[in-house]
Structure 1
Amino acid sequence: MRYGIAIFPSKKIQDEANSYRKRYDPHYALIPPHITMKEAFEADEEEIENKIIPELKRIAKDTDPFSIAIYKASTFSPVTNTIYLKVENSEEIASLNEKLHSENLPGAKEFSFVPHITIAQKLSDEEFSDVHGSLSMLKFDLHDTIDRFQLLYQLENGAWSVYETFRLGQEEQ
C-alpha cells in the first residue's frame, strides 16, 4: 500500500488554499490542503505497525510544536506549472523533514525540501502564466502553529486518508 506523511494546516489556511484549489488543482477532491513532509512510499501492514509507527511516535515526541508563516505564492516553474503558497522555511520544519527521512523509515528523498501548499497544478502554459501573474501580486499574511503530523494512506480511487495522527512534543496516549 502507498503511504505518505503530511501536515494539515489550520482551517483558515486550508480555506485560503481551497479558494484557489477549487479552480486550479485537479487533486482538490483527493486530499485537503497540506504540506508534504514525506513523499509517497510503499509499505505493508506489518511494516507500518511494527516499524514505521513506533519510529513516527518517537520523532513526534522529540519534536516541539512550531510556527509557520506564509507571505506569498510561488512556483516550481520551469520544472512544472505548479503554483503554491510558500511556507517560510524554518529550522523546525526542516529538522522535522530530515527526521522523517532517516534510515529508519522507507522512501528516499527525491527532491530538495521546499515547504509549500499546492494551490494550482497541471495548468496549460497560458493558464499558468495568467494565474501566476495575478497571484504573484498578492501578499499573504498567514500564520499557524503546527502541533501534529499525519501518516496517510492512498485509497484505490487515488484519494488520501489519515491512518494515524502524531502530536508533537507529547508522550504516547
Structure 2
Amino acid sequence: MKYGIAMFPSKMLQDKVNSYRKRYDPHYALIAPHITLKDPFEADENEVKSIISYIERIAAETDPITIDITKVSSFYPVNNVIYLKVEENSNLSALHDQLYSGPLEHEQPYNFVPHLTLGQKLSDDEHSDVLERLKMLDIRHSETIDRFQLLYQLDNGSWTVYETFRLKGRSGR
C-alpha cells in the first residue's frame, strides 16, 4: 500500500488555499491542503507497525511547529507548481529529516521545500499568468501546528488519514 506523511494547517488556511486550488489544481479533490513531510512510499502491514512505533517516538520528542507563510512562489522551470512558501525553520526541517531515517529511510526525490500547493499541471502560459497575479497578493500568515498525519492512498487516488500523531515535545511531558 502507498503511504505518505503530511501536516495539515488550520481550517481557515485550508479554506484560503482551496479557494485557489479548486481553479488551478487538478488534485484538489484528492487531498486537503497540506505540507508534505515525507513523499509517498510503499509499505506492507508489518512494516507499518514498526513505522508507527518509530513515528510515535518522533512525535513525543518534537515540539509543536510554528509555520510562517510569506509569499507565493513556484518550482518553475522544474515543474509548473505554484505554492505558498512556508519559511524553513529548524523544527520543521528536523521533523522532515527524522521522517527519512530509521525504518523510513530512503532516497529523497527532492530537496525539502515546505509549501502549500495552490496550482499544478498548468500550461506554461497559464502558469506565468496565474503566478504573476498571485504574487501581487499580500499573503502573510503564521500559525502553530501540533500534529501530523500518516496517510494512505485509496484506489481512486485520493488520500485519507491512517493515523494522527500529536507533537508533544517538552510541552507534552
Match of residue 25 from structure 1: 25
Q: Distance in 1 between matches of 2:38 and 2:125?
A: 31
Matched AA of 2:3: Y
Computed over aligned residues only, the root mean square deviation of the Cα atoms, in angstroms, reads: 1.4
Q: Distance in 1 between matches of 2:169 and 2:128?
A: 44
Q: Secondary structure at the match of 1:86?
A: strand
Conserved? CA contact 2:64–2:169, under 8 Å: no
Conserved? CA contact 1:39–1:107, under 8 Å: no
Match of residue 89 from structure 1: 88
Q: Secondary structure at the match of 1:104?
A: helix
Conserved? CA contact 1:40–1:107, under 8 Å: no
**Deviations along 1:86-134, whole A, 9 cap, x unmatched?**
0011011001001111133144211110000011000011110110010
Once the two structures are superposed, the pairs formed by residues 51-130 of structure 1 within 5 Å of their partners are: 51-130=50-129
Match of residue 16 from structure 1: 16
Q: Distance in 2 between matches of 1:101 and 1:139?
A: 34
Q: Distance in 2 between matches of 1:30 and 1:8?
A: 14
Q: Secondary structure at the match of 2:83?
A: strand
Match of residue 37 from structure 1: 37
- Taking a change above 3 Å as real, the CA distance of residues 90 and 115 of structure 1, as seen in their structure-2 partners, is same
Conserved? CA contact 1:74–1:83, under 8 Å: yes
Q: Which has the larger helix fraction? A: 2
Q: Secondary structure at the match of 1:152?
A: strand
**Deviations along 1:65-85, whole A, 9 cap, x unmatched?**
121111111000000010000
Structure 2: segments with no counterpart, 5+ residues:
none
Q: Distance in 2 between matches of 1:159 and 1:39?
A: 15
Q: Distance in 1 between matches of 2:91 and 2:68?
A: 12
Q: Secondary structure at the match of 2:79?
A: coil
User: If the length of structure 1 is used for normalisation, what is the TM-score?
Assistant: 0.95
Conserved? CA contact 2:99–2:105, under 8 Å: no
Q: Secondary structure at the match of 1:163?
A: strand
Percent of matched pairs sharing the same residue: 58
Structure 1: segments with no counterpart, 5+ residues:
none
Match of residue 146 from structure 2: 147
Matched AA of 2:32: P
- Taking a change above 3 Å as real, the CA distance of residues 162 and 48 of structure 1, as seen in their structure-2 partners, is same
Count, aligned residues: 171
Q: Secondary structure at the match of 1:169?
A: coil
Q: Distance in 1 between matches of 2:168 and 2:18?
A: 29
